[in-house]
Chain A
């Protein structure tokens, strides 16, 4: 009788993956560096990490460790991790992300212990290092969220830098003139949106290359604010450039949690706005109608169009919203960290935010983690130069950028941008 109705399940083609040696090689080089510097080159003294500010409600004891012990401990574990990664790759398997993460943590611990240990004063306030990192990360997170909103809808936003800078400038001027920090905050949002408006009009309506428009906008904002700073703002700094600052607001109980409490729950309004923006963008993007349409427009605009979604309007609104978010982030510079505007005071943070966006794989939470990493690298540089280490200052100043290059160049692996990001949509 016939058995013709069943199709034999033919086995799919065997997985012959292309082996990527990038990760194990980088890990191996870094672990050998660790072995040579952190372990063999370890200073013989103890290192003190202060965990809490003495003024806090709960004060943790100081952590005192021996530099050679920590150096050898981290170096050996790193070499082991690198060797394991090498073996995994040899047998054609992938190196899990957590291995890279643990490796990174070990490297940071080893590096910190070594560099602090060999400083003039082998004693560092860890809480200060972390809270400083977080403060530096706040504008980066706003910038990355701005990037997420734009790129998820299909517009590349190189102008984050310009949005941050113009936001900072507007906040300083409006805050000074009105004497009210909230007026400054509002002005910052409007200023960011104005930069976005230009970006949106040129890239969406006139289909100019989005990267070029973004770069030009950054140069334009830098020139404009620089000019006004050296003429108007310098002529009468008391009137034009002395904005009131937004003080930190301490949330009772939560702020008493050791280490994390003072960092997370003793923030200015801008810091709390960041939490709200982060949650709103994340939930909105993945669980709301607006988010579904935004992502569709950024992935396959034609499909969205055939289903009655207005592609260019969706993009336009998202770019404007992104400007508001980045503008508020810019206000952090002049209303929270420093109470005055200074020429080019954002200093490339917008580009770092862009890197955080890519490293965070266009996901708000990923961007948060990446921004924290970059904030940490930047603050580490400040703290270390104060301690007086053996490492030349110029090398420390490179630290955040070296971290950026390594991170984005893909220790973490290949990331996938929204398919239509940077591609203008032309009907028909």
Chain B
């Protein structure tokens, strides 16, 4: 099936999310859409999948124009989509999820799940998915859930499969498996639209690459193009992908976590006996696939978790059991992983958000009253220093772009002397230009002698910033390895192998290959 988009434009009020986009997806191809967060890739795919109606332009299937009034029309036309956030009902079984909306029924509308299960097994065997139709979805690993999504599309006879940022939640190993599945699908004559901002993956799997920037197609590239070329095309100017940071000059170990355990009411411990230390002037990056205890670790340090046992000491002082406010006041800066939920108050102004952690202290407050003039002056200073692109200090923080919101959070947390700096997903959903800036700020914080802990699920970011790398898997520390550890070793640690085993195996297999 050939799929063509002609002059697709999508406006939300004054905002032009897609601006006359043309795209042709040929059968048997992996067609990658490369672009930064907010470039308009997801909007385009939602138009294609019938979730949004295009303001202008048309969609052609096998050269015939079609209109989609909803996802069911798109599915009927042979288009399947795997959303970035899975569209699976967690408490349903795989079979129930696959059947939903496409039920085979017996008499009187009774479900015939047996038939659905048979089809799932057929598809699962054909592509080697290894999916049990009776498993409950919420108990399955993310990689398997993704395959359930693919089965959902295939069982509806999808000829074009849209994968929206599919690798964001996968381990490196699962990512490799997914790329393999994509090749298998194209061999069967199906086509895949692969949406991503990860250059290496796009290069590895694509037949055609289309680059989108600010809602427009800015060009297409050959998979053989270098990552630097692709990056500059994506961002619109030349970017340096390497920070070239100076080597760390670590001092004494002032931050120590010992045997940290967080019990859970429902199942395995969220964090199980984690111990590590961070020295002054050093960045420890915590790597791991999302949901392996990183959130709990940072929240435990900030006093935001219950049922914590073990010890967290900063400059010899115990933090476990203390109030969050005390922990902040003892000099801990914290950038939470989701700025919209924990980092900012969206309806407050930029100026107010910049003093959220110190609004009740001098110089921003006197007695019970705030001092607006000082808060204003502080905002003006930080906006210049961090290059925050905002109309004014009084603009609501929620209206800023992701990168600028993150700069507000970072500016607030970095604008006082710190004893410890923790940043969780410091550049998630941030444009490439801002990433570079934020990374430099983190490194300069290290260089003034603060112990820094970075939590990131992006291996690229971990490798860029880290002086040492700790890997979490299933709430346990798989080990702490030097910053120059290879991706393969890190990938296996992220899948649950201890540092020693992973390193040994890696050198082993290298030796075996010779």
Q: Which chain A residues have a beta carbon within 8 Å of chain B's beta carbons?
A: 1-4, 7-8, 10, 12-18, 20, 287-293, 295-296, 299-300, 302-309, 414, 419, 428
| Chain B neighbourhood of A303, CB < 8 A | 86-89, 97, 100
| Chain A neighbourhood of B96, CB < 8 A | 292
Total interface residues in chain B, CB < 8 Å: 56
Q: Are A12 and B509 neighbours in the complex by a CB distance under 8 Å? A: no
- 7 residue pairs, one from A and one from B, having the closest CB atoms: A308-B72, A307-B101, A2-B512, A303-B87, A4-B509, A13-B272, A16-B269
Shortest B512–chain A CB gap in Å is 3
Q: Are B501 and A8 neighbours in the complex by a CB distance under 8 Å? A: yes
Can you list 30 A-B contacts with CB-CB less than 8 angstroms, sorted by A residue number?
Answer: A2-B509, A2-B512, A3-B508, A4-B508, A7-B497, A10-B498, A12-B268, A13-B474, A13-B475, A14-B269, A15-B267, A16-B272, A18-B263, A288-B105, A288-B109, A289-B105, A289-B109, A292-B96, A296-B92, A300-B87, A302-B87, A303-B88, A306-B51, A306-B81, A307-B71, A307-B101, A307-B102, A309-B100, A414-B265, A419-B90
Q: Are B111 and A296 neighbours in the complex by a CB distance under 8 Å? A: no
Question: B89: which of A1, A2, A10, A296 is its contact (CB, 8 Å)?
Answer: A296
Q: Say what secondary structure dominates the interface of chain A.
A: loop
Given contacts A4-B505, A4-B508, A4-B512, A15 and B497 within 8 Å (CB-CB): no
Question: B111: which of A1, A3, A292, A309 is its contact (CB, 8 Å)?
Answer: A292
| Chain B neighbourhood of A428, CB < 8 A | 51-52
Interchain CA distance A16-B264 in the complex, whole Å:
7
Question: B88: which of A290, A300, A309 is its contact (CB, 8 Å)?
Answer: A300
Question: A18: which of B90, B103, B265, B509 is its contact (CB, 8 Å)?
Answer: B265
Interchain CA distance A12-B100 in the complex, whole Å:
33
Closest to B52 in A: A428
Shortest B263–chain A CB gap in Å is 4
Confirm or deny: B75 has a beta carbon within 8 angstroms of a beta carbon on chain A: yes
Q: Kindly supply a per-residue 1/0 record for chain B positions 64-108, scoring 1 wherever the CB is within 8 Å of any chain A CB and 0 otherwise.
A: 000000111001000001010011111110001101111101001
Interchain CA distance A4-B489 in the complex, whole Å:
12
| Chain A neighbourhood of B267, CB < 8 A | 15
Interchain CA distance A1-B512 in the complex, whole Å:
6
Q: Are A293 and B100 neighbours in the complex by a CB distance under 8 Å? A: yes
| Chain A neighbourhood of B108, CB < 8 A | 288
Which of A10, A14, A306, A419 has the largest number of chain B CB atoms within 10 A?
A306
Interchain CA distance A303-B51 in the complex, whole Å:
12
Shortest A139–chain B CB gap in Å is 28
Shortest A5–chain B CB gap in Å is 9
Closest to A290 in B: B109
Q: Are A308 and B101 neighbours in the complex by a CB distance under 8 Å? A: yes
Q: Are B103 and A289 neighbours in the complex by a CB distance under 8 Å? A: yes
Shortest A287–chain B CB gap in Å is 6
Q: Are B111 and A287 neighbours in the complex by a CB distance under 8 Å? A: yes
Shortest A2–chain B CB gap in Å is 3
| Chain B neighbourhood of A293, CB < 8 A | 100-101
Shortest A74–chain B CB gap in Å is 32
Q: Are B90 and A300 neighbours in the complex by a CB distance under 8 Å? A: yes
Q: Which chain B residues have a beta carbon within 8 Å of chain A's beta carbons?
A: 49, 51-52, 70-72, 75, 81, 83, 86-92, 96-97, 99-103, 105, 108-111, 152, 261, 263-265, 267-269, 272, 306-307, 473-476, 492, 495-498, 501, 505-506, 508-509, 511-513
Q: Are A7 and B495 neighbours in the complex by a CB distance under 8 Å? A: yes
Q: Are B71 and A305 neighbours in the complex by a CB distance under 8 Å? A: yes
Q: Are A13 and B269 neighbours in the complex by a CB distance under 8 Å? A: yes
Closest to B49 in A: A306
Question: B101: which of A1, A18, A287, A304 is its contact (CB, 8 Å)?
Answer: A304
Shortest B509–chain A CB gap in Å is 4
Question: B90: which of A8, A15, A290, A299 is its contact (CB, 8 Å)?
Answer: A299
Interchain CA distance A301-B257 in the complex, whole Å:
42
Interchain CA distance A295-B501 in the complex, whole Å:
45
Shortest A276–chain B CB gap in Å is 14
Given contacts A18-B263, A287-B110, A292 and B103 within 8 Å (CB-CB): yes
Q: Are B497 and A10 neighbours in the complex by a CB distance under 8 Å? A: yes
Interchain CA distance A300-B96 in the complex, whole Å:
13
Closest to A3 in B: B508
| Chain A neighbourhood of B272, CB < 8 A | 13-14, 16
| Chain A neighbourhood of B492, CB < 8 A | 7
Q: Are B495 and A15 neighbours in the complex by a CB distance under 8 Å? A: no
Interchain CA distance A3-B492 in the complex, whole Å:
14
| Chain B neighbourhood of A16, CB < 8 A | 261, 263-264, 268-269, 272
Shortest A128–chain B CB gap in Å is 40
| Chain A neighbourhood of B264, CB < 8 A | 16-18
Q: Are A307 and B265 neighbours in the complex by a CB distance under 8 Å? A: no
Interchain CA distance A48-B420 in the complex, whole Å:
74
Q: Are A18 and B307 neighbours in the complex by a CB distance under 8 Å? A: yes
Q: Are B71 and A17 neighbours in the complex by a CB distance under 8 Å? A: no
Shortest A281–chain B CB gap in Å is 14
| Chain B neighbourhood of A307, CB < 8 A | 71-72, 75, 87, 100-102, 152
Q: Are A10 and B473 neighbours in the complex by a CB distance under 8 Å? A: yes
Shortest A36–chain B CB gap in Å is 33
Interchain CA distance A292-B116 in the complex, whole Å:
13
Shortest A282–chain B CB gap in Å is 13
Closest to B70 in A: A308
Q: Are B88 and A289 neighbours in the complex by a CB distance under 8 Å? A: no
| Chain A neighbourhood of B508, CB < 8 A | 2-4
Q: Are A17 and B263 neighbours in the complex by a CB distance under 8 Å? A: yes
Interchain CA distance A2-B509 in the complex, whole Å:
6
Which of A293, A307, A428 has the largest number of chain B CB atoms within 10 A?
A307
Interchain CA distance A17-B263 in the complex, whole Å:
5
Shortest B233–chain A CB gap in Å is 30
Closest to B307 in A: A18
Q: Are A308 and B497 neighbours in the complex by a CB distance under 8 Å? A: no
| Chain B neighbourhood of A14, CB < 8 A | 268-269, 272
Q: Are B92 and A295 neighbours in the complex by a CB distance under 8 Å? A: yes
Q: Are A299 and B89 neighbours in the complex by a CB distance under 8 Å? A: yes
Q: Are B91 and A299 neighbours in the complex by a CB distance under 8 Å? A: yes
Interchain CA distance A14-B261 in the complex, whole Å:
10
| Chain B neighbourhood of A304, CB < 8 A | 89, 100-101
Closest to A20 in B: B265
Shortest B479–chain A CB gap in Å is 12
| Chain A neighbourhood of B105, CB < 8 A | 288-289
| Chain B neighbourhood of A291, CB < 8 A | 111
Given contacts A14-B272, A306-B81, A289 and B111 within 8 Å (CB-CB): yes
Closest to B97 in A: A303
Interchain CA distance A299-B267 in the complex, whole Å:
22
| Chain A neighbourhood of B111, CB < 8 A | 287-289, 291-292
Closest to A298 in B: B89
Shortest B347–chain A CB gap in Å is 19
| Chain B neighbourhood of A288, CB < 8 A | 105, 108-111
Interchain CA distance A1-B509 in the complex, whole Å:
8
Interchain CA distance A4-B71 in the complex, whole Å:
44
Q: Are B101 and A309 neighbours in the complex by a CB distance under 8 Å? A: yes
Shortest A383–chain B CB gap in Å is 40
Closest to B264 in A: A18
| Chain A neighbourhood of B265, CB < 8 A | 17-18, 20, 414
| Chain B neighbourhood of A287, CB < 8 A | 110-111
Q: Are B269 and A300 neighbours in the complex by a CB distance under 8 Å? A: no
| Chain B neighbourhood of A10, CB < 8 A | 473-474, 496-498
Interchain CA distance A304-B97 in the complex, whole Å:
9
Which of B88, B102, B109, B495 has the largest number of chain A CB atoms within 10 A?
B109
Interchain CA distance A266-B307 in the complex, whole Å:
54
Q: Are A295 and B109 neighbours in the complex by a CB distance under 8 Å? A: no
Shortest B163–chain A CB gap in Å is 14
Q: Are A300 and B89 neighbours in the complex by a CB distance under 8 Å? A: yes
Closest to B475 in A: A13
Interchain CA distance A295-B505 in the complex, whole Å:
47
Closest to A302 in B: B87
Inter-chain pairs besides A2-B511, A303-B100, A306-B49, 13 sampled, C-beta below 8 Å? A4-B505, A13-B475, A17-B265, A20-B265, A289-B111, A293-B100, A296-B92, A296-B100, A300-B90, A304-B101, A308-B70, A414-B265, A419-B91
